[in-house]
Chain A
Amino acid sequence: MKIKIQDKLSIEVANCVTAYFLKRGSLPYSEKDDFKQEILLKYIKQKKQIINNYRGESQLKTYLTATFFNFGREYIRREARNWVSNNPSFTPDEADERSPQSSLIIKEEIKRLKLVIMLFADEAAKTRLFLKCYYRMLVLIQDLSEYEPSFIKLEIDKLLLGKEFTQNSEIYETLSEVSNRVENKKNKPDAVRMWIKKRIGQIIYRLDGKYHSSNYSEETVGILMEYMCEEQTKEAYEYTE
C-alpha cells in the first residue's frame, strides 16, 4: 500500500537549498544529510498549511525554495552553536585574484553585491553613486543618469565628475549638496555620513548573513565595490568600442 504522491519537486528543492547553505559555508558538510532530512520532514508535516497559503502568484518551485530556505535558516539558528565550523571564511582582500578559483569566487561575490544593491530598490542608484564617492572611485556619467536623469540641468556632473576627494568631510558636504538638489531637501553633511554608514552596515549584514562564513567589513566591501566598478567600466568601454 502506498500513498500516491509525486513529490520529486520538494526533494529537488531541498537539494538546492542544502547546496546553497553548504556553498555559503553556513552548514558543515557533516550536517548535510541531517539538514536535508530535517527540512523535508518539516515540509511533510506542514504541507497542508504550506500549500493552502500558496496563491499561485509566484512559481511553485520558487515558493517551495523560500519555504525550505526558511526551514533551513531556523535549523541553522538552532543547531549552529553545536557545530565547530571547518569552513574557510572568505573575504575579498584575502583572495588572490590570479588564481582561477579565487577569480570565480570574486565573480560570484560581485554578482551578490549587485543583487544586494538592487534590493535597495528606488535607492539602488543612489547607494551605488554615494558608495563610489565614499570609496573614492571613478564616477561615470551612467552613475549620475541612473541616480537622476536630469543631472545636467541640476549641474550635478560639475560636482562629481572627475572630482578627487581627499577628506571624508568634503565627500559628505558634496553629497549633501547633490542629494539636496535632487531630492529637494535640506540635509546636512552629517545626515549623509549616517546614511552611508547605515547602507554599508546593511550591505555587510546581507552579504555575510548571520551564519554565513564570509567575514565582510567596511574595508572589504570597498574592495568588492572596486572589483564591481572595474567590471562596470570594462563593460562600458566594450560597449563604446
Chain B
Amino acid sequence: MNTQNNHHLSREEISLYAEQLAAGAIANSEQHIAQHIKECDECAQAVLAVTEILMADLEQDSPVIRPKVIRFPVRTMLGIAASVAAVIVLFFYVDFSSNIQQEQLADHQSDIEEFQQDTQTILLITEDTSYSVSSNHSLGEQGIYPVNERLEQLVDRFSGVAFRGDDVKIISDSELMATVGEQIILEWSNTDHQLLIIEILDHNEKKIKELETVNDKVMVVLSQNGVYYWKLINQEYDLLFCGRIHVKE
C-alpha cells in the first residue's frame, strides 16, 4: 500500500486503520501507518472521524434485546416453523453476505463505463418527502405511493408522443422506474441547443427542483421513494413533455 505523493495516508490506509481502531486492533496495523498517524494531525483527524462514524453505525446496527415470551403449544409450533424458516433465510444470508463486498465493487466497476457517458447536467434531489397512502395512489411493482391526478392526466396526454415542438424529440419513456439512489437519465434531442427548463415535482405538485439547460439530457438521483413527475418546458413556457418517475425503496 502506498502513501500518497503529498505524504499523507491514502484513503484506504485511513479506512483500514479506522477499522482496526474501532475493533481495538491497532496492534495489527502496519508500522509506517501507525507512525504516520502518531505525528500527522490531518490524517489522525480523518482516522478519528471515520472511526466515530463507523462506531456510530455499529451502535445503530446492534440488535435490540427483547424479553423472552412463553408461548402456548400452538404458538410454539408456529415458532418452530418460523425458526426453521429463519435458519433457511440465515443460511442464504450467510452464503450471500460473504460476497456482498465483491458484488458491491463489481457493481461499481461495471457502472463506470456507463458513467462516462457525456451527461452534461447532473441534478441531485436530496429533499426529504415522507409519504402516506392516500385515496389517490399508484400501485406498481414498487409499492403504493400517492399520485397527483392533474399531473397523471398530463402524463397520459404525453404518453407515446415523441415529437413536441419543431426540434425537441423526447427519448425517455413517459414512465421511468428506479430505486432510491439510482441514477436516471431524462433525455431528449435538442439539435438547436435551445434553452429548456426542466422541473421535477412531487405528488403534491410541489416543485422540488428547476433547472435550465441547452443540452439534451439531465441525470437525476432521487433519495426518497415515491412518485415524481418531470416537465420539459421551452423558452415560451410551452409544456413539451410531462413524464412520471416511480422511485421504490
Q: A57 near B: Cβ within 8 Å?
A: yes
Contacts A20-B53, A116-B48; A58 near B176 (Cβ below 8 A): no
Q: Is the CB of B185 within 8 A of A119?
A: no
Q: A120 near B: Cβ within 8 Å?
A: yes
B44 proximity list for chain A (CB < 8 A): 116, 119, 202, 206
B181 proximity list for chain A (CB < 8 A): 6-12
Interface size counted on chain B using CB atoms at 8 A? 64
Q: B14 near A: Cβ within 8 Å?
A: yes
Q: How far is the CA of A67 from the CA of B53 in the complex (A)?
A: 13
Q: Which of B16, B35, B127, B223 contacts A58 (CB 8 A)?
A: B16
Q: A115 near B: Cβ within 8 Å?
A: yes
Which residue of chain B has its CB nearest to the CB of A24?
B49
B219 proximity list for chain A (CB < 8 A): 3
Q: A59 near B: Cβ within 8 Å?
A: yes
Q: Which of A41, A58, A123 contacts B15 (CB 8 A)?
A: A58
Q: How far is the CA of A4 from the CA of B111 in the complex (A)?
A: 7
Q: Is the CB of A47 within 8 A of B187?
A: no
List of 8 A-B pairs having minimum Cβ-Cβ separation, nearest first: A8-B181, A62-B15, A121-B34, A58-B15, A58-B16, A66-B11, A66-B15, A11-B181
B173 proximity list for chain A (CB < 8 A): 1
Interface size counted on chain A using CB atoms at 8 A? 55
* 30 residue pairs from A and B, CB less than 8 Å apart: A2-B183, A3-B115, A3-B184, A3-B185, A5-B183, A7-B221, A8-B182, A10-B181, A17-B53, A44-B115, A45-B122, A47-B108, A47-B111, A51-B109, A53-B12, A58-B16, A58-B18, A59-B15, A62-B18, A65-B50, A66-B50, A67-B11, A69-B46, A115-B51, A116-B48, A119-B37, A119-B47, A121-B37, A202-B41, A206-B44
Q: How far is the CA of A125 from the CA of B238 in the complex (A)?
A: 71
Q: A168 near B: Cβ within 8 Å?
A: no
Q: A161 near B: Cβ within 8 Å?
A: no
Q: How far is the CA of A236 from the CA of B178 in the complex (A)?
A: 54
Q: How far is the CA of A123 from the CA of B44 in the complex (A)?
A: 14
Q: Is the CB of B105 within 8 A of A60?
A: yes
Q: Which of A44, A57, A59, A70 contacts B46 (CB 8 A)?
A: A70
Which residue of chain A has its CB nearest to the CB of B102?
A56
Q: Is the CB of B111 within 8 A of A3?
A: yes
Taking A57-B1, A65-B15, A73-B46 as known contacts, 5 extra A-B pairs with beta carbons closer than 8 A to each other, sorted by chain A number, are A47-B115, A56-B101, A63-B15, A66-B50, A121-B34
- Within the complex, the shortest CB–CB distance from B4 to chain A, in Å, comes to 10
User: Residues 5-31 of chain B: 1 if any A CB is under 8 Å from the residue's CB, otherwise 0?
Assistant: 000001110111011010000100100
Contacts A2-B185, A9-B104, A121-B34; A58 near B112 (Cβ below 8 A): no
Q: How far is the CA of A41 from the CA of B220 in the complex (A)?
A: 11
Q: B45 near A: Cβ within 8 Å?
A: yes
Q: How far is the CA of A12 from the CA of B223 in the complex (A)?
A: 10
A44 proximity list for chain B (CB < 8 A): 115, 122, 183
Contacts A1-B171, A11-B223, A48-B112; A119 near B21 (Cβ below 8 A): yes
- Within the complex, the shortest CB–CB distance from B98 to chain A, in Å, comes to 13
